Amino acid sequence: MPASIKGTLLLDENHPSLKKAANIINRGGLVAFPTETVYGLGAAATDPEAVNRIYEAKGRPADNPLIVHVSDPAQLKTVARDLPEKAFKLTERFWPGPLSLVLPRAEGLPALVSAGLPSVAVRMPDHRTALELIRLSGVPIAAPSANRSGKPSPTTYRHVLEDLTGRIEAVIKSAPCSVGVESTVLDLTGETPLILRPGGVSREELEETLGCRVAVAGLKSFPGKPLSPGMKYRHYSPRAALILVAGHPEKRFALVKALAYRYRSLGLKVGYLNPSIRDDLKQKVDPERLAATLYELMRRMDQQEIDIILAEEIEITGIGLAVMNRLKKAATRTLRVGSGKLQRKS
């Protein structure tokens, strides 16, 4: 008998266990499973009641759409329609991988999957267990991140248990997620491809593959008002106040030290997010490493009841764009060295 806590089964990654997980999915249940980005909370995308349970278990607002996971590029046609040439170029290069494509939703797919939008986000994860689970289920699997809404995304099965024990049927135990931040969400329904959420595949890689400019929602270079329902929510946030220090690297470092001193003298517990400041070394941050450990660090600091998390900005190239996006969303304040101005995040 597999272990179970408060009704939530802990399953291994072997074939019989994954068959059990697939049966749960087919009966309308919820299974948290590993992917290369973060752990997903899966239900049969074809079953509106099961999809509704995802929103309930997470406490997720009903207007925040999910991502549909497929096990094969050919399965894309069952969930999306009117596929543009760009979609084929991208799936060929980046699937399996951390790229979700927003496309017109297929008629047969429940509207609830994409919170009633005419579009749907689809991806093929680069993880053996995830792919086998989808294959064994025989249906595409709708899955947002397997955390309670508002908490940092889960990158280990323990994070999933912290948030969802007793609320879902099963969790598949696997190694920590290798990428550590969510997939890039790329909207292909407009004239110009638009990154709604930066993630594991970089803007540079997308532009190189498509041979055209790719816009990023929220950056000044994008003129219009983008619509991504998920973007208005304050995700990715630790309980502690996170202060993001931006500006000239050396001045930044001095300010972080001064802030730590000031807060500690007020009796507050201070934690450093970037390894460079934690180790008191002015080494270059490794953005991949920071991405892979970001949510684990946030959760651990919450457990340690840290009051103030100090984080330094990093360059927004490659995965750095995704890391900075998450840091900005998590930040209660951004402090820019030079101006000395304290900007409260709205």
294 is an interface residue for ligand AMP by CB under 6 A: no
Tell me which residue has tokens 């490794």.
286
325 is an interface residue for ligand AMP by CB under 6 A: no
Binding-site member from 47, 163, 169, 182 for ligand AMP (CB under 6 A)? 182
126 — alpha (psi -120 to 50), left (phi > 0) or beta? beta
Q: Shortest Cβ distance from residue 119 to ligand AMP (Å)?
A: 4
Q: Which is nearer to ligand AMP, 45 or 102 (CB)?
A: 102
Separation between Cα atoms, residue 34 and residue 140, nearest integer Å = 16
Binding-site member from 117, 133, 322, 323 for ligand AMP (CB under 6 A)? 117
- The tokens for 289 are 């490493």
Q: Which is nearer to ligand AMP, 114 or 155 (CB)?
A: 114
Site track 136-165 with Mg ion (rule: CB under 5 A), x = hit: --------xx--------------------
The stretch among 28-36, 117-125, 159-167, 324-332 that binds ligand AMP (CB under 6 A) is 117-125
Q: Which is nearer to Mg ion, 71 or 145 (CB)?
A: 145
119 binding partner (options ligand AMP, Mg ion, none; Cβ < 5 to 8 Å by kind) = ligand AMP
Order of strands across the sheet that contains 40-44 = 4-5, 8-11, 170-172, 31-33, 40-44, 141-142, 67-69, 119-123, 99-104, 184-187, 194-197, 215-216
Q: Which is nearer to ligand AMP, 126 or 312 (CB)?
A: 126
Longest dimension (CA), the chain: 61
Q: Which is nearer to ligand AMP, 23 or 189 (CB)?
A: 189
Q: Which is nearer to Mg ion, 26 or 149 (CB)?
A: 149
145 is an interface residue for ligand AMP by CB under 6 A: yes
102 is an interface residue for ligand AMP by CB under 6 A: yes
Site track 220-259 with ligand AMP (rule: CB under 6 A), x = hit: --------x-xx----------------------------
How many Cβ atoms are within 10 Å of 303's Cβ, its own excluded? 10
67 binding partner (options ligand AMP, Mg ion, none; Cβ < 5 to 8 Å by kind) = ligand AMP
Number of residues that bind ligand AMP (CB under 6 A): 18
183 is an interface residue for Mg ion by CB under 5 A: no
Q: Which is nearer to ligand AMP, 71 or 147 (CB)?
A: 147
Q: Which is nearer to ligand AMP, 79 or 240 (CB)?
A: 79
Binding to ligand AMP (CB under 6 A) within 37-76 occurs at 64-65, 67
Separation between Cα atoms, residue 91 and residue 73, nearest integer Å = 7
**156 phi and psi, to 5 degrees?**
-135, 160
Site of interaction with ligand AMP (CB under 6 A): 64-65, 67, 102, 114, 117, 119-121, 144-145, 182, 185, 196-197, 228, 230-231
Site of interaction with Mg ion (CB under 5 A): 144-145
